[in-house]
Amino acid sequence: MSDDEQKKSVAFGEATNMENGETVNLAAGDEATAEHHSAENGEATPATFDPSAMKKKKKTKKEKEPEGEEPKENGDAAFDPTALKKKKPKKSKEEGAEAAEGDAAANGDFDPTKIKKPKKSGEKKKKSSGGTAGDDDFESRLKKLGLDEKEEEPSVPQTQEEVEAELQQGIGAWAQDNSSPFKYTQLLKRFYINLYEDHPELSGEGRLKNYKIPPPQVVREGNKKSIFVNLPEIARKMKRNPDHVIQFIFAELGTNGSVDGSGRLVIKGRFQQKQLESVLRRYIIEYLTCGTCKSPNTTLNKENRLFFVSCNVCGSRKSVSAIKTGFQAALGKRRKQQA
């Protein structure tokens, strides 16, 4: 998810840069203004991203991490935050709020600026070109620009197909004379595409998606208990010890329960089928799928108190963390605890 966003944002940044570069080239008449403008653009876009603003917030709120960027605040940050009284937190919060607003504004502005900026530059050019050359000239330039844009855009492919196509044809980033350095993500994509073409069985493409287990059947018992009816069946399908699955479910849901006579799992608390589904999905991802080939055909065994998942398809092994319940908040009545 975040990876994707990153990629996209990276691609976006490149696109705008390119366009800026083009504006410089095309508006040869008033190169100076265009350059100036593009320079502004170039500066403006990173400025909205400027991490120092966010850093400031972090610092003011926590006032701990020493950083050389804001000497003023470092002076404030020198003292112990635990010793702070009311005045300080208020101030920092205000600042934090401001910074947050700034952040929000930056985030909100983010896309529009990107879309707008090329337009703006176009408008400027329109004025300037209208002054220096005829309208036809400008239109032809615009067309050129549009064409160029179209040509340039695919060099930052965003979909899988585009990447594949580029790879096969050896164009774009993969052209022989391409001098720009490869990005890690690009190379990684290339690796997976090649792997999928040559050894589809290793790439595990879509294998997990096809993996099916019967949906959990949940019945409510009374008002406060849920019964997970087909847990034994699911555990058998997954080739896992039911106890392990139960342990995981209890740890995830932060509750407890018991197994009744016919193997059904009684869980304290109200849970719906889809909630248990998501828990099971997490279990499958963590304890069932092979880390390398994504196959669910794995076995879990314990060695020296460490759990290992070994794959029956590709033979790889990975260690998985033991199930930990973690912090459990005390619920219920105070009287009970004290007694």
Partner 1 sequence: MSLDNLKTFDPFADTGGEEDSSAQANIHIRIQQRNGRKTLTTVQGLPKDYDPKRILKVLKKEFATNGNVVIDDELGEVIQFQGDQRTKICNFCVNELKIPKQLIKLHGF
Nearer to partner 1, 195 or 300 (CB): 300
Compute the least distance from the CB of residue 242 to partner 1, in Å.
20
| Residue 170 Rama label (left phi>0; alpha psi -120 to 50; beta) | left
CA distance 188 to 186: 5
Nearer to partner 1, 51 or 146 (CB): 51
Contact 81, 92 (CB under 8 A): no
Compute the least distance from the CB of residue 81 to partner 1, in Å.
5
Nearer to partner 1, 189 or 268 (CB): 268
**Residues near partner 1, by CB under 8 A:** 2, 54, 57-58, 61-62, 64-65, 81-82, 89, 93, 96, 100, 103, 251-255, 269-272, 275-276, 278-279, 305, 321-322, 324, 326-329, 331
Chain centroid to Cα 219, Å, comes to 35
Helices (H), the chain: 2-26, 31-49, 51-62, 71-77, 87-132, 135-152, 160-169, 184-198, 200-203, 207-210, 231-238, 242-253, 273-283, 334-338
Nearer to partner 1, 213 or 323 (CB): 323
Compute the least distance from the CB of residue 55 to partner 1, in Å.
8
Compute the least distance from the CB of residue 168 to partner 1, in Å.
33
Compute the least distance from the CB of residue 236 to partner 1, in Å.
23
**DSSP letter for each residue of 69-125:** T-HHHHHHHTS-GGG--THHHHHHHHHHHHHHHHHHHHHHHHHHHHHHHHHHHHHHH
Nearer to partner 1, 22 or 63 (CB): 63
Nearer to partner 1, 235 or 276 (CB): 276
Compute the least distance from the CB of residue 279 to partner 1, in Å.
6
The CA-based angle 138-12-177, given to 5 degrees, is: 80
Nearer to partner 1, 25 or 301 (CB): 301
End-to-end CA, the chain: 48
Compute the least distance from the CB of residue 328 to partner 1, in Å.
7
| Residue 220 Rama label (left phi>0; alpha psi -120 to 50; beta) | beta
**In the numeric block, which tokens belong to residue 235?**
């555990």
Compute the least distance from the CB of residue 188 to partner 1, in Å.
16
Nearer to partner 1, 171 or 320 (CB): 320
